[in-house]
Amino acid sequence: MSALRRHSDQRHTVHFDPVLPILGVVLVLAAFLRWWDIGSKFHFMGDEGLQTSMEWRLLHGHLPLLGPSLSIGAMHLGPVFYYLMAPALAVSGGSAVGPTVLVGLFGVAAVALLFLYLRVATGPYAALGACAVMAASFLMVEYSRRPWNPTLTPFFVLLFLWSLTSWKRSSAVWMVVAAGSLACLLQLQPVNIFVIPVAVIFVVAARPSRPSAAIVAAAILVFLLISSPLLIYDATHHLANTRAWLSVLVHGKSSAPARHASSLRLLFNLFNRAFELRIIPLSLGLAVLLVIAGVIAGLSRSTANDTAWEVLLAVLLLLVAALGFEVYHKVVFEQYLVCLFVAPFVFLGGLLSLLSRWRWGLPAGVVLVLALVVVGVRDTWTYSFVRPQVTVADAAVTRADLQPDDTYGHVVAVSRRIIRWTAGTPFSLRMASYLNAPDAYDYVLRRLGHAPRTGGRLVLIVEPSSWPRHDWPPTARRIAASSLRRTRMGIVRLYLAP
């Protein structure tokens, strides 16, 4: 009877596992910060406007073979971003809100992927801590609230790295996922090529299971299918895009200004912007601590009692980037670092895993995570919603790294003012700016049924509004001097000339 009672007690014992509920709360936080007030307060400047225009053309039968052009030469990325975003643009009726919501979904999925990626190497609670900080990070939220091709990179980097470790720990079938995510990465940003040497080192050192011929064929097929628009373009244009890439690789980017910051400075700014502590010595200390912890955790045994490849791959990616940026002596824009955005949070997972081994390490880790989440939520609320700002383009800038943001709601408001001023008469649009291009305004005006033309009255937009007039191009000064109407709207000045 007593044995029967013990069996009954064991059968009805329920062990509550808080991991999934906590992960649910973290994902809700991530979704809230990425989608709150998404109808107007998201970054929408020239690049976003131009790419949204290409997605709109795609929906109307103009299938692009090339993606965004690059400032480093006469070459293009692939069009995978256009094809991914076009369905969301169709659902939203041409509003840029649709693609931005989808970008946010990729951002939330990246947070979930970070948990799946780290949980074996660091344990589930350390992975949850890293996810919570990534969910609240202003840098990650900012890049989840703009319909721009680099913004999907963190998701696909994590998918690529996870597929590598899953190939090692589980099955060679993951090679197919790695091939697909790599094909997407190479079309989103040129510096995403950094993941290739990381993958080569992993295959040589980790020696994952050998894939069958069928798996290799499937991986090649998936890669070629995703890359097919670029391949078709080059096949029908005498390898024009490939030759442009080779020209830059051989001769370099001659038109870009030289960079005066080391790769170490750039990588510190990556950590500084990821956590936005706003106190440089504190940011420096945290960055050094995370890198040291990442190296130790990567070289230690994981919770599965084997090499913690999940952390070690992030270390390798950082090393490859440091070497790459030392070779590349030109200015580095923040989006060039986007393939590294996940590294600080992977290292944080490694640190939390190490702390959990000591008696006071667990409460110390909880305090650290809560502090970084509070800082992230504070910065996100302030700079995304209260007074919208974005991090500056130059990745070498450490202090004063924020600038006023041109949001979608602001672009729509300025466009409606232009429509009222021109009162249905033809007009042409010009912009004077060292920060922006007129493509965002052009797209919104077209969607509102008032497309700019070559002739007619002239509308001039000057951005930023604080730009001293003596620094404007001479043409812009003449237009402003002869203007019939003028006003200042947030970060732009608006002029209507005859």
Work out the end-to-end distance of the chain between its first and last CA atoms, rounded to an integer number of angstroms.
99
Percentage with pLDDT > 70 across the chain: 94
pLDDT at 406: 84
Q: Which residue has the tokens 């998918």?
A: 159
Mean pLDDT across 303-325: 88
Strands 389-391 and 402-404: antiparallel
pLDDT at 215: 96
Tokens standing for 122? 């660091």
Mean pLDDT across 54-78: 88
- 8-state DSSP, 384: I
Q: How far is CA 58 from CA 52, 134, 474, in A?
A: 10, 33, 37
Which stretches of 137-212 are DSSP H helices?
138-142, 153-169, 174-188, 195-206
DSSP output for 279-306? -HHHHHHHHHHHHHHHHHHHHSB-TTSS
Contact 338, 108 (CB under 8 A): no
Which residues contact residue 383 at a Cβ distance below 8 angstroms, ignoring those fewer than 6 apart?
Answer: 138, 142, 389, 390, 402, 405
pLDDT at 303: 58
Distance CA 38, CA 146 (A): 10
Contact 294, 314 (CB under 8 A): yes
Query: Kindly report the CA angle at 45 between 30 and 486, in degrees rounded to 5?
Result: 130
Tokens standing for 236? 């029908």
- 8-state DSSP, 383: I
152-166, 172-186, 340-354, 393-407, range with the lowest pLDDT: 393-407
The yes-or-no verdict on residue 184 having pLDDT over 90 is yes
- The helix/strand/coil state of 380 is helix
pLDDT at 421: 95
Mean pLDDT across 237-255: 77
Which residues contact residue 159 at a Cβ distance below 8 angstroms, ignoring those fewer than 6 apart?
Answer: 113, 177, 181
Residues 88-136: tens digit of each pLDDT: 999 999 999 999 999 999 999 999 999 999 999 999 999 999 999 999 9
Tokens standing for 54? 């290409």
Sign of the alpha-carbon torsion through 148, 154, 160, 166: negative
Give residue 404's pLDDT band: very low, low, confident or very high (50, 70, 90): confident
Residues 10-50: tens digit of each pLDDT: 555 557 789 999 999 999 999 999 999 999 889 999 999 99
- Identify which of 117, 202, 211, 119 has the alpha carbon closest to the alpha carbon of residue 166: 117
Region for residue 466 given its phi and psi (left: phi exceeds 0; alpha: psi -120 to 50; beta: otherwise): alpha
Residues 278-296: tens digit of each pLDDT: 889 999 999 999 999 999 9
Q: Long-range contacts: 387-392, Cβ < 8 Å, 24+?
A: 388/41, 388/43, 390/43, 390/142, 391/139, 391/142, 391/273, 391/334, 392/334
Sign of the alpha-carbon torsion through 27, 29, 30, 32: positive
Mean pLDDT across 63-77: 85
Where are the chain's structural domains? 19-391, 408-497
The yes-or-no verdict on residue 65 having pLDDT over 50 is yes
- Percent of the chain as helix, strand, coil, to the nearest 5: 65, 10, 30
Backbone angles phi, psi at 403, to 5 degrees: -140, 155
Distance CA 410, CA 420 (A): 15
Which residues contact residue 220 at a Cβ distance below 8 angstroms, ignoring those fewer than 6 apart?
Answer: 179
Give residue 4's pLDDT band: very low, low, confident or very high (50, 70, 90): very low
Backbone angles phi, psi at 430, to 5 degrees: -130, 155
- The order of strands in the sheet holding 457-463 is 427-433, 457-463, 492-497, 485-489
Longest dimension (CA), the chain: 101
pLDDT at 326: 87
Backbone angles phi, psi at 332, to 5 degrees: -110, 120
Mean pLDDT across 45-63: 94
Amino acid at 467: W
Distance CA 274, CA 137 (A): 6
The yes-or-no verdict on residue 158 having pLDDT over 90 is yes
Q: How far is CA 41 from CA 101, 216, 380, in A?
A: 12, 45, 12
Instruction: Give the count of beta carbons closer than 10 Å to the beta carbon of residue 328.
Output: 17
Residues 437-488: tens digit of each pLDDT: 999 999 999 999 999 998 889 999 999 999 999 999 999 999 999 999 999 9
Average model confidence (pLDDT) across the chain: 91
48-57, 396-405, 408-417, 445-454, range with the lowest pLDDT: 396-405
The yes-or-no verdict on residue 255 having pLDDT over 70 is no
Tokens standing for 332? 């580095």
Amino acid at 379: D
Distance CA 316, CA 323 (A): 11
